[in-house]
Amino acid sequence: MRKPNLSNIKQAKVLAPAKDLATLEAELAKQENSPEVNLEDTVLRLSDYLSAVEMVIKQTFNHRVWVKAEIRNLSSKGGHYYFELAEKDDDGKVIASCRGNLWRFKAARVLAKFERATGMALERDLTVLLKVSAGFHAQYGFSLTIEDIDPSYTLGDLARQYAEMIDRLTGEGLLHLNQQLPTPFDIEHVLVIAPEKAAGLGDFQADANRLASTGACQFHYHHATFQGNHAPSEIRQAIVSAQKQFYDTYQRLPDLLVIIRGGGAVGDLAYLNDYELAALVAEQPIPVWVGIGHERDKVILDEVAHTSFDTPSKVIAAISSHLAQLVTQTLQYQAQIKQAAKRQLNIAEQRTSRQLGQIQSQTVGQLTALRKDSDYAWRSIQQSAQRQVKQAARRTSELREQTQSSAYQQLAMAATNSKDYQKTVMQSAQQRVIQAQRNSEHLRDIVLLHRPSRVLKQGYTMLTDAKDKQIFTSSTQLYPEQTIHIVLKDGKAKAQIIDIKTDNKMTESTDTLTES
C-alpha cells in the first residue's frame, strides 16, 4: 500500500510525511490522544484520506462474518465472479447494497459445493448466506470479499418461498381449483405449451403425431422459454395467446391444456415456481395437464394443475390411454345397444308375426264365412224369386184363363168393364211384382250387410295385388319384394314383402309398410 502523504497543512498544525505506515499510525494515534490537536484543520489528499479509511476498515473489520443478501446481479471475468448484493425491506425497496467479489482461487470450490447441494447454479435474484470480509480500496471503493456460500440457507429460502406460495394459493382458493374440473369425456383438441425444439417436446410429438394421424385428436403447439427470469412471463403470455387464437378459430375452448418440458438441472425448475404463473394455470377454465421432466422434486405447477406427470411422454401416454378407454367404452355401449335393439326387434317381429297370423286367419275365416253366407243368401233369393215368378205365372195364367172364360160368357157385360177389370188385374200383378221386388231387396240388404266394405269397418284388413285386381288369401300367392295393398276401412297402404315364413299350418310374413 502506498504511504499516505500528509505534507499539505493548514496554519501551523502540520503532520510531517510519514516514512512508513507504522509511523503514520503512531502519529495519528498520538495526535488523536492529544487534546490539543484538531484533525478538522488538517488538509489531506483524497488518496491519503482513502488510504487511511482503508487502514481503519482493515483493522476494524479484520474478521469474517456471515451476511444474508440478495444477488441483484452476477458476472464473471477471468474466473473471478463479481456480485451486486442488496437487502430489501418488506415493500421490496433496496435499503442497503454493495459489491462483492469471489476470487478465482476460491470460486471453483465454493460454486461446485453450492451446485452439488442445491442442484442449481448461482443466479441473480437468489437470497444467499455469504461468509465475507470487508475490504476497501482507494481507487475501487468498498466491497466484500466472499469466502464461502452456505447452500443450506438458499435451499431453505427457496422452500420458504415455495411454502408461502402454497399458503397464498390455498388462502385464495386457487390451489385445487383446476383439479375440481372434470376430466374431458372426449379429447379432440389439445393446446401444448413447451420450449421450442426441446428433447421432451420431440418425445411428446413422436407419439402425438401418430395419434393425430388417426384423426382421433389434434394438437396445437405454442412455444415459450422455460428457464431464466423471463420464463414465467413468457409462459403466461403463451397460454393467453394460445387460448385466444384457438377461440378465434374454433369459437370454443380446447379440451385440454398441456404444459411440458424435458428433464434438466434442478435449478432450472426454480423458474417455474412463480405465483402469477401458478394462479393463471389454476384459473384456467379447462383441465391443465403438466409433464415437467423430473421425478422427485415438485414445482408449483404440479400443485395447481388438474393432473401432474413426471415426463412429457407420460402425458401423451395418458391422452392415448384415455382415448383408447373411450373407444373401448363406446364399442361396449354400441354392442349393448345392438344387442338390446336386436332383442327388441326380434320380440317385435315375433309379436307382429303372431298378430299378422291371427289377423290373416281371422280375416280368411270371416271372408270364407261371408262368402258362404253370401252364396247361400243369393241362392235363396234366386230360389224364392223363381218360386214367386212361377207362382205369379201360374196365377196369371189361371186368371187369364178365367178371364177369357168369363169374357166369352159375359162378353157383352165385360165389354164395358173389360178395361176396369184389366186395370185391376194389372194392378194386382204389379203389386205382386212389387212385393216380390221388396222381398228380393230385403234379401239383397241381408247380403250387403255381410259385404267386404262393412267387414273392413269392423277392424279387419284385406290384401290385394298392386292393381287391386286380386285378393290374396294364401301365403303361396306372395313372394319377396312383391308390392301389395293393405285395404283398410278408410284407405289403403302400400307395402313390400320382405320375408315369407311358411309352415304346415299357417303362413307368417313380415311386411315393411310404407304409407301411400
pLDDT for the residue 258: 92
In this predicted model, what pLDDT tens digit does every residue of 188-206 receive, in sequence order? 899 999 988 777 788 888 8
Is residue 32 very low, low, confident or very high in pLDDT (cuts 50, 70, 90)?
low
Place of cell 382415448: 323
In this predicted model, what pLDDT tens digit does every residue of 396-444 receive, in sequence order? 888 888 877 777 777 767 666 667 777 888 888 889 899 988 888 888 8
Is residue 516 very low, low, confident or very high in pLDDT (cuts 50, 70, 90)?
very low
In sequence order, the 6+-apart residues with CB closer than 8 A to the CB of 115 are 121, 122, 267
By CB neighbour count within 10 A (0-12 exposed, 13-18 middle, 19+ buried), where does 506 fall?
Answer: middle
Is residue 284 very low, low, confident or very high in pLDDT (cuts 50, 70, 90)?
very high
Give percent above pLDDT 90 in the chain.
15
| Of 459, 509, 496, 488, residue with least CA distance to 357 | 509
Rounded to two decimals, the pTM is 0.47
| Of 306, 302, 271, residue with least CA distance to 285 | 306
Tell me the pLDDT of the chain averaged across its residues: 81
Q: How far apart are CA 256 and CA 251, in angstroms?
A: 15
Q: How far apart are CA 272 and CA 239, in angstroms?
A: 14
In sequence order, the 6+-apart residues with CB closer than 8 A to the CB of 15 are 6, 9, 27, 31, 42
Is residue 453 very low, low, confident or very high in pLDDT (cuts 50, 70, 90)?
confident
Q: Mean pLDDT over residues 86-110, rounded?
A: 87
Quick count: other Cβ atoms within 10 Å of Cβ 405? 10
Q: Which amino acid is at 260?
A: I
In this predicted model, what pLDDT tens digit does every residue of 220-237 receive, in sequence order? 999 988 877 788 899 999
In this predicted model, what pLDDT tens digit does every residue of 330-365 receive, in sequence order? 788 888 888 888 888 888 888 888 888 888 888 888
Q: Nearest 5°: phi and psi at 32? A: -65, -35
Cell numbers placing 171: 388462502
pLDDT of 297 above 70 = no
4: DSSP letter: P
Do the beta carbons of residue 370 and residue 471 sit within 8 Å? no
- For the range 281-284, what are the long-range contacts, defined as Cβ-Cβ under 8 Å and sequence gap of 24 or more? 281/178, 281/239, 281/305, 282/169, 282/174, 282/175, 282/177, 282/178, 283/174, 283/177, 283/178, 284/178, 284/239, 284/257
Categorise residue 417: left if φ over 0, alpha if ψ from -120 to 50, beta otherwise: alpha
pLDDT for the residue 12: 34
Give percent above pLDDT 70 in the chain.
85
